[in-house]
């Protein structure tokens, strides 16, 4: 089977289950539906237990995967969104605002890709411009001022590379966020929920804890971009995905990620509400741990955490 078509057996079972939804509730139909749902669950378990890095990339990009606003709806009460960077404009590719997470007042920041064509264009496919990162930084400084923990959700192909974004200082906006997040004196918990692409992801990714959903990916470039640069052949994106070590399990081993959040069987898009509960348990536990640290200890630990990434062992001198 084509590696890109790994979900086809699952989709076929989903279609068969859906076809029974309008055929009444008699005993025979109900039993058939239950049998198909058991088969569907088993198929999801089988397929998703052995995904390749490229297939995990496709899952991370799934169009029904929950985005930041979905997690906010399930996890945050009384959310009030902040708009604009006070310099140029508002960027809908970045959502930022304050609310209550399980009794804690928090700031939530995250990428938002959009569902249908109109919303995707409005959200710029989740690719922020400089004003998006400056909006995020404005909100983070407010959170630090009022001692509010920060939760960020990463899901972007990368920062928008358009001429206007470059003219308005895309690189400077990202770099400033990295510096400022490194020294904020409140707890910061980062979660890569889907696709974490390059500096566009890292600009809201400097935290005390970095989580990744089980089928999320996080990398300096997309597999397609890597393949085009290394081999001048975009069709080798599968090879690039394997070589780049961009999956949650790879990055946990490399100490880039601190914890992997399990996904519901079949991926987060199967049951976003249940996935939010699983993520919420992790976030609550981590915030409780971080809130016991002093501001100075938080900053020192966060700095040390990122300095440790990229360790290597030098070869021993002969003799």
pTM metric for this prediction: 0.90
What is the SS3 assignment for 99?
strand
Tell me how far CA of residue 229 lies from CA of 110, 187, 224, 235, 245, in angstroms: 29, 38, 9, 12, 17
Pairing mode, strands 94-101 and 76-81 = antiparallel
H or E stretch at 117: helix 117-122
Is residue 94 a contact partner of residue 135, using CB atoms and an 8 Å limit? yes
137: tokens are: 């930084």
How many CB atoms sit inside 10 A of residue 225's CB? 18
Give me the pLDDT at residue 208, please: 97
Q: Which of 124, 111, 70 is nearest to 198 (CA)?
A: 111
Is residue 100 a contact partner of residue 142, using CB atoms and an 8 Å limit? no
Q: How far apart are CA 30 and CA 50, in angstroms?
A: 31
Give burial (CB, 10 Å; 0-12/13-18/19+) of 79.
Answer: middle
Beta bridge partners of residue 213, listed in sequence order: 261
Is residue 116 a contact partner of residue 63, using CB atoms and an 8 Å limit? no
How many CB atoms sit inside 10 A of residue 310's CB? 9
Give burial (CB, 10 Å; 0-12/13-18/19+) of 166.
Answer: middle
In degrees rounded to 5, what are phi and psi of residue 51?
A: -75, 145
Count CA atoms closer than 13 A to 205's CA, side-chain side: 30
Q: How far apart are CA 105 and CA 279, in angstroms?
A: 17
Tell me how far CA of residue 14 lies from CA of 38, 39, 58, 265, in angstroms: 11, 10, 19, 14
Q: How far apart are CA 242 and CA 53, in angstroms?
A: 5
H or E stretch at 11: helix 8-19
Give me the pLDDT at residue 292, please: 95
The pLDDT profile of the chain, 319 residues, written as one tens digit per residue, is 466 678 887 887 777 777 777 666 667 777 877 787 787 888 888 888 889 999 999 999 999 999 999 999 999 999 999 999 999 999 999 999 999 999 999 999 999 999 999 999 999 999 999 999 999 999 999 999 999 999 999 999 999 999 999 999 999 999 999 999 999 999 999 999 999 998 999 999 999 999 999 999 999 999 999 999 999 988 899 999 999 999 999 999 999 999 999 999 999 999 999 999 999 999 999 999 999 999 999 999 999 999 888 876 666 666 5
What is the SS3 assignment for 192?
strand
């Amino acid at each position: 089977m084509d590696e890109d078509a790994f979900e086809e057996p699952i989709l076929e079972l989903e279609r068969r289950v859906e076809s029974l939804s309008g055929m009444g509730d008699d005993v025979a139909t109900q039993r058939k539906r239950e049998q198909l749902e058991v088969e569907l669950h088993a198929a999801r378990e089988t397929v998703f237990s052995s995904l390749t890095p490229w297939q995990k990339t496709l899952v991370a990009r799934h169009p029904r995967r929950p985005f930041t606003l979905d997690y906010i709806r399930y996890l945050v009460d009384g959310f009030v969104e902040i708009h604009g960077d006070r310099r140029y404009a508002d960027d809908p590719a970045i959502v930022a605002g304050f609310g209550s997470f399980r009794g804690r007042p928090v700031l939530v920041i995250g990428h938002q890709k959009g569902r249908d064509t109109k919303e995707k264009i409005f959200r710029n496919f989740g690719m922020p411009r400089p004003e998006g990162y400056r909006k995020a930084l404005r909100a983070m400084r407010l959170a630090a001022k009022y001692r509010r923990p920060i939760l960020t959700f990463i899901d972007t192909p990368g920062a928008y590379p358009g001429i206007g974004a470059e003219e308005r200082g895309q690189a400077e906006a990202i770099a400033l966020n990295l510096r400022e997040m490194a020294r904020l004196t409140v707890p910061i918990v980062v979660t890569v929920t889907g696709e974490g692409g390059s500096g566009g992801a890292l600009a809201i990714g400097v935290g005390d804890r970095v989580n990744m959903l089980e089928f999320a990916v996080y990398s300096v470039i997309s597999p397609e971009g890597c393949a085009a640069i290394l081999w001048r052949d975009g069709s080798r994106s599968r090879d690039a995905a394997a070589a780049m070590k961009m999956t949650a399990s790879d990055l946990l081993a490399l100490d880039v990620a601190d914890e992997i959040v399990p996904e519901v069987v079949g991926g987060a898009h199967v049951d976003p509400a249940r996935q939010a509960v699983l993520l919420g348990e992790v976030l609550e536990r981590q915030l409780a741990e971080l809130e016991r640290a002093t501001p100075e200890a938080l900053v020192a630990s966060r700095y040390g955490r990122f300095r440790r990434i990229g360790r290597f062992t030098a070869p021993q001198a002969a003799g």
